[in-house]
Amino acid sequence: MEEDLEIAIKVVIVGNGAVGKSSMIQRYCKGIFTKDYKKTIGVDFLEKEIELDGEEIRLMLWDTAGQEEFDSITRAYYRGAQACVLAFSITDRASFEAIDSWKKKVEVEVGEIPMVLVQNKLDLIDEACVSEEDCELLAQRLKMELFKTSVKDNLNIDSVFEYLAETYLSHM
């Protein structure tokens, strides 16, 4: 009899609205980037299979569908999360300053899980209002790995999720 040894990891992507969370999931799972991607309420997550150290890993990437501000919805969203992306945009100072509170929200619901810090929209560096130094200092303070991404240019997106999967596996 064949045993099903597949590992599935629920990953939640959190952060303020418009930092690129949905786009990141679309990019990673479907390989697309659209400027006007409309969030579909009712679609909870997209999946992506990767192979890591000879293991088949199924990543389930959960999207808040623009409901970030509703606590009742986010409760269900966080339930059972095993890894987390904390995302902000370098063109949105408030999204950077909100990272601490997003981290707390996740930890209140699910405790400590592997997390990674993502500074998105690197292609818009000319319009940045968060400095490189600020980002590095935040990562140091939170003791988290920092990934500089552009969903638009497909920069570093795969690395974010590979890193999370690896970190999750090494803590299993």
Between 14 and 57, CB nearer to ligand GDP: 14
Between 57 and 118, CB nearer to ligand GDP: 118
Which spans of this chain sit near ligand GDP (rule: CB under 6 A)? Answer: 17-23, 35, 66, 120-121, 123-124, 150-152
d(CA 56, CA 50): 6
Alpha helices in the chain (DSSP H): 21-30, 71-78, 93-97, 99-110, 132-142, 157-170
Chain position whose Cβ is nearest to ligand GDP: 20
If we measure between CA atoms, which residue out of 89, 75, 81, 49 comes closest to residue 62?
81
**Through-space distance between the first and last CA atoms of the chain, rounded to whole angstroms:** 25
d(CA 15, CA 66): 10
Between 57 and 88, CB nearer to ligand GDP: 88
Minimum distance from CB of 21 to ligand GDP (Å)?
Answer: 3
Between 10 and 121, CB nearer to ligand GDP: 121
Between 20 and 114, CB nearer to ligand GDP: 20
- Look-up of token digits 């999370």: 164
Minimum distance from CB of 120 to ligand GDP (Å)?
Answer: 5
CB 96 within 8 A of CB 130: yes
Minimum distance from CB of 3 to ligand GDP (Å)?
Answer: 37
